[in-house]
A = this chain, B = another copy of it.
Amino acid sequence: MAKCEQCIVKQLNSLKTLTKSELLRISACKTSQFVKKGDVIFDEGEHLNGVFCISSGICKVSKMSSNGREQIIHLVNKGSILGERSLVNDEVANLKATAISDMEVCFIPREEIISDLKKNPDFTMSLLKDMASSLKNADNTIVDMAQKTVKQRLAEMLLNLEASFGYNSDHVLDIHLSREDIANIIGTATESAIRLLSEFKKDNVITLKGKNISIIDIPKLKKIAQGF
């Protein structure tokens, strides 16, 4: 099994503040698993008992609305940690995590991380900064959801995908989302998302081949996102 000291996850977030001996201890007790596309990593209401490190793959983090529709809160790439929040306040999960590609995920039991929280102030502080940053993003998302049109939100989402996941060798966005997932990110009906994507394609803002999306006119997309 891979060691935490070399893991990509360790380089990209709060875990980077852990000492070598702390990492060794965690490495010894972690479990690793492969998750297939579509599989649920954890669901709303579950007791997590630890955090998940994403070594490879992408998952969506979502929540059911009382209307019975899924809202995707964010997409999580390799190198990230899931479940920190449930760890901190010891509540059941408020969100659901589902693989949207095949993934490799490590699980670190609650007690191990908690012990670091208590002993390593740098780690706590780093976690605090991560949360502050997440909170800022969440506030900005609230503003967008409340004030922007579906078209603006779609444009913005495409720009975010580019920033977070980049392109593969063919200048195709390195993430494959179903039209339904796209709709559930921007909070609209699947048909509306499809229509707007077609419109963007017709207007030469993007190209579309199935789930392969390329952005070809970033300035235009930015203008659309701001309401022009």
Contact = CB atoms under 8 A, between A and B. Distances in A.
A121 interface: yes
A131 B88 CA distance: 10
A7 to B, nearest CB: 24
B134 A135 contact: yes
Interface stretch (A50-58, A63-71, A202-210): A63-71
9 contacts: A65-B144, A71-B147, A73-B139, A85-B136, A88-B129, A89-B129, A124-B128, A128-B131, A138-B142
Interface string A112-128: 00000110010011011
A159 to B, nearest CB: 13
Given A89-B133, A124-B124, A128-B131, 17 more contacts: A63-B140, A66-B225, A66-B227, A69-B147, A71-B147, A85-B132, A85-B136, A88-B128, A89-B129, A89-B136, A91-B136, A94-B140, A95-B139, A127-B128, A135-B135, A138-B138, A145-B146
Interface residues of A, dominant DSSP: helix
B138 A135 contact: yes
Contacts of A134: 135
Given A89-B132, A128-B131, A135-B134, A148 B67 contact: yes
A161 to B, nearest CB: 17
* 9 closest cross-chain pairs (CB), A and B: A146-B187, A138-B138, A65-B147, A145-B145, A131-B131, A88-B132, A71-B143, A66-B226, A85-B132
A189 B71 CA distance: 23
